[in-house]
Structure 1
Amino acid sequence: MEIKQVTIVGLGLIGGSLGLALKKARPEIKVVGVDLEQQTLDTGVAVQAVDWGTTRLSQGVKEADVVVLATLVKAMPGLVQEAAPFLKAGAIITDVGSTKAKLVKQLSALLPAGTSYVGGHPMAGAETRGIESADPYLFENAVYVLTPVPETDQGALTAVTELIRLTGAKVLLLSPEEHDAIVAAVSHLPHLTAAALVNAVARREEEVPGTFQLAAGGFRDATRIAESSPEMWQDIFLDNKETLLPMIRAYRRSLAELEEAIAGGNREKLYRLLAGAQEKRRQIPAKQKGLLPGIHEIIVTVPDQPGEIGKLAALLGIKGINIMDIEILRIREGDGGTIRVGFATAAEAGQALKVLQNNDYLAWLKQ
């Protein structure tokens, strides 16, 4: 199937980033934006995330080969109902919703004859919101889950797969039920616990003013995702409660084990629980993440100077070494910081290590 027009409904972070990535990869594809806010559409055109935009859903979808729903999940069934009379024969609907089992059934039942639906969920995002935060590289090397069911049209699945690969994402096929069970553990529970942690410490702040002023990197890292949209996450938690609630209970059991070990002064049990968590956490980068190969990592210390990360990336780029992942681990004001840099192969990591050490960086392979 030749895709000539993609219509993105909802030009927020995900919708805007998708438009930017598609226009960067295939400028000839017409990308149309649909949004409630004209200012958002104007910004989308200005940053070249879309070719043109409209506040009228019927106008935006009528010539679309693919329609991407990038709104809150609760809005999607109503949008499909509104768009249905205007979809052309052969049009494909897909979405970026964070829950799938209920949504796949709802949207599939609402589609007119001659159209297709493929559920989707990019495992990428940020705490920031809106078209202003859109990034053409948001999906680069990220896993993008598609959730076909037995009734899914194979031609539509192939077309959406090829479209998503244009963004640099790695497509992973899961059933809707598998998707919801996995994201309940690795996405939804972490957001819930981040919010709970902030609320718990906020109560301590009321009792001991100044508590938040001492919040350092560990607390900030653990609670960063609590800044995400409350409206979006309340919908996600409620839509996926059947799989999320068992994970909450499992987390409570883990907390109870630690609490009991501390209350009882059981050093052996406490050490075993902490060491077990440490060992399992260390395994995560070394294992496959969806379709991503294992990452080979280098730790680098950099001085506290403007442009140091860009300089580091340029040194590797000149040698043709591709950075697969990068993360700032620690920052010491006035004294620089520590960065983790990931590569697809051990050979690339070894080559990068030599380049950095030859340029007087303190760097070493992460074991």
Structure 2
Amino acid sequence: MSILTRGPGRTWAGFALAAAVLFGLAPAVLSDFRLSLLAKFLCFAIVAVGIGLAWGRGGMLTLGQGVFFGIGAYVMAMHLKIADAELKGSEVPDFMQIAGIRTLPGYWAPFASPVVTILAIALLPALVAFLLGLGVFKRRVKGAYFAILSQALAAAFAILLIGQQSTGGSNGLNRFRTFFGFSLADPANKRMLFFIAAGVLLAVVAATRQLMNSRYGELLVAVRDQEERVRFLGYDPANVKLVAYVTAAFFAGIAGALFVPIVGIISPADVGIVPSIAFLIGVAIGGRATLLGPVLGAIGVAWAQSAFSETFPSGWIYAQGLLFIVVVGFFPAGVAGLFALRRRRRPTDTTTAAPPAVETEMEFAR
């Protein structure tokens, strides 16, 4: 039985188990360094949930999630740098003083306010996704064309950031000292950031499950599989896709904002084509058509990258590429799809209703 068809009791039990692991077991057995590393992986998992909704359920190969991740991250980073400058009695952040910038740029000024910063983190990525999606989906751009367009957007965004001294250029923004008044040097506050990331991930998974189980979720799958039939029935597929795309961007923006105080740096290297593809690889390996597959895949791939890079610094990228090829070529439903397929093949009583078919998603991108 798929997680999307479980009863309320089993669903709540699953969330309770996840909460026990994240809020109880992990802080008890992991060192502060490893716990901070896991918090970073949870940020990737939040992005992966949105990709699973847009790609796995909606058939939109989103190769540009780094853009929305970067918007949320840079908004948060600008606020933290302004707050640090104010603590030192300076009008501009330290890196601007080194670059010879004596006045705070106009587009930085609104982010001195914590309220404006939080609203911008939530709204800016979603607004950009809405405007882009409106232009793309209304023109019926899809498949490989949509994937190339979103990837080009990620490349353009990274190049734009590199050329801007006011955002740190290729070095990005780093050396944050406080987070809304809390010192980032305090281990207790670092644990607080982990708990925030864990709570946000659980909330995002719960919201996505609700979407998938709703009438909208069924309509999104219908658009993915038979777009013209859905249009014939009187629905606009562009609007259906737009909701999933904006939701995925909203999740990515929140993840980027959490990433900044947890990791302590954001640069163009974190928001371009390579990280956007890395997000996608985790989702594909975990299982893009399932709810928990993207989460487990993103965390697993990020953990493997960290573990293998410590031992084989130059070999991980080849292992990652090989793993992606093997999964896409031979296990298109991902690791989670393998377990679902095994459950489907178990002998069942002929008097009971057959379980719903497992979505194997044999095509890499529709």
Q: Normalising to structure 1: TM-score of the pair?
A: 0.22
Which is helix-richer, 1 or 2?
2
| Greater RCO (CA < 8 Å, at least 6 residues apart) | 2
